[in-house]
Amino acid sequence: MTSSSGNSNNATSLSTAEPPQPAAQEDDGRKRRRLIATIAPATSGISLIWGAVPSILLALQVQQAFGDDAKVAILALVTTIGAIAAMLAQPIAGALSDRTRSRFGKRAPWIVAGSLCGGIALIGMAFANNLAFLIAAWVMVQIGYNFAQGPLSAIMPDRVPRSIRGTFAAVLGLGSMFGSLGGQILAASLSSNIPAAYLLLAGFAVIVLTLFVVLNPDRSSKDAAVEPFVLRKFAHTFWVSPIKHPDFFWAFTSRLLTYTGYFVVVGYKLYILQDYLGLGQKAIGLIPALGLVSLAGLLVSTVAAGRLSDRIGRRKPFVFASGSIVAAALVIPLALPSVTGMLLMAGLAGFGFGCFQAVDAALISEVLPSDRSFAKDLGVVNIAVTLPQILAPAVAGAIVLSFGYAPLFPIGATIGILGALAVIPIKSVR
């Protein structure tokens, strides 16, 4: 990704120097098209894991190991600890990536190393024979893949001009949602062979992330200046002042609340099907259908939203509308507690979330506090994705254990509406 300040500096220098040669422009265009074409599979490689493991494979593993009576509490414990690890890992990975100096650039070493470490830990989960082993393996999965995902998320502000970030974000969103939904379908298909599923997920992620790095080589960062390491400054990795950067704060809050509302319901999807709808063991067979319906809604919105957002030069209306649509979708199973209700929720939520992911990433890239710390700042932003994975299981688990599944839907919808409203105060982006 190319920073906005970098773009303006380049524009200034070009206005007083020779115009770019056609061959150079053609080469840049070819590189940009290749970058856009390969970011989707790279993103989907990680998203497959987030779609397949926490709410399906891990849920089944917990159920098989600890029984129906303990499954809700133990799944909440495992996913909460893992999400804490993820929340800490991404901004640290981003800060380290920003400071990395190598002939392969700042991002590539972390993307490849993170995918390898995460893959080894994921395969290790297949052999977890007690709770401590399972938690440790899942924590290492979270750390490994978040160390890859943090630097990968910095590709947009590093290399992509503002004028096409909506399109790039749409492709990014497609890769993310394809991966997430594909992971659910894969997990359901391999639910009887969890070790094979873990091996397949780990192998695919290593392949697509390594190919992304090879096909999109970054310029060397060996000669770039490095600020002296100061521990206190590094500790600020986790903090961006909402007073100095209010637009960043509101964009963060919008994403945090939207994802929290979504995960309050979706994080317990398998158990909702099993217990709330009473499908029992038949529930796993419905997962692929829900994934395909979500995918249909996703395709309709994502393809159009990013391009339309670029064309009219506006982000906020799309983020507000999409967050509201997701919130509305979450209450459908409360009014219609049936397979039909779950299918309707999946389709409408897919439509809303596709639009949200297509445009929200572009909006956030335009409110980052500094062009010298893209990966660190995006790591902080991605806490808004990982923190809901801490809050949602803990909140949802307590609600289910105390009141059953029904309250999850209005609570998730209310949080989602607040996420949609949080985008309104942003001033620097329309």
**pTM greater than 0.75 (yes/no):** no
Per residue in 242-283, pLDDT (tens digit) is: 788 899 899 999 999 998 998 889 878 888 999 999 999 889
Q: Which residues contact 41 (CB under 8 A, 6 or more apart)?
A: 175, 208, 211, 212
pLDDT at position 15: 37
- Write the pLDDT tens digit of every residue in 47-77: 899 889 987 899 999 999 899 888 888 988 9
Q: What is the mean pLDDT of residues 28-43?
A: 85
Please check the confidence at residue 206 and state whether its pLDDT lies above 50.
yes
Quick one: average pLDDT of 338-360? 91
Tokens for 353, please give them: 């979330």
Per-residue pLDDT at 414: 95
**CB 43, CB 175: distance < 8 Å:** yes
List the one residue out of 356, 344, 318 whose CA is nearest residue 174.
356
Return the closest-CA partner of residue 83 out of 119, 109, 58. 58
| pLDDT score for 294 | 86
* pLDDT at position 170: 76
Q: Which residues contact 399 (CB under 8 A, 6 or more apart)?
A: 407, 408, 411
Q: Are 255 and 346 in contact (CB under 8 A)?
A: no
Q: Which two tokens stand for residue 409?
A: 């839907």
- Does residue 395 or residue 133 have the better pLDDT? 133
Find all residues with CB under 8 Å of 205, minimum gap 6, and list them.
45, 46, 48, 49, 115, 118, 119, 145
Map out the domains of the chain with their CATH numbers: 38-218+243-421 (1.20.1250.20)
Higher pLDDT, 240 or 295: 295
Residue 161 CA to residue 152 CA, distance in Å, equals: 16
Could you tell me the maximum CA-CA distance found in the chain, to the nearest angstrom? 72
Reported confidence tier of residue 27, pLDDT bands at 50, 70, 90: low
The answer on pLDDT for 16 being more than 50 is no
pLDDT in tens, 86-121: 888 877 887 788 777 878 888 889 999 999 999 999
Q: pLDDT at residue 85 above 70?
A: yes
Q: Which tens digits make up the pLDDT trace of 212-225?
A: 999 988 877 776 76
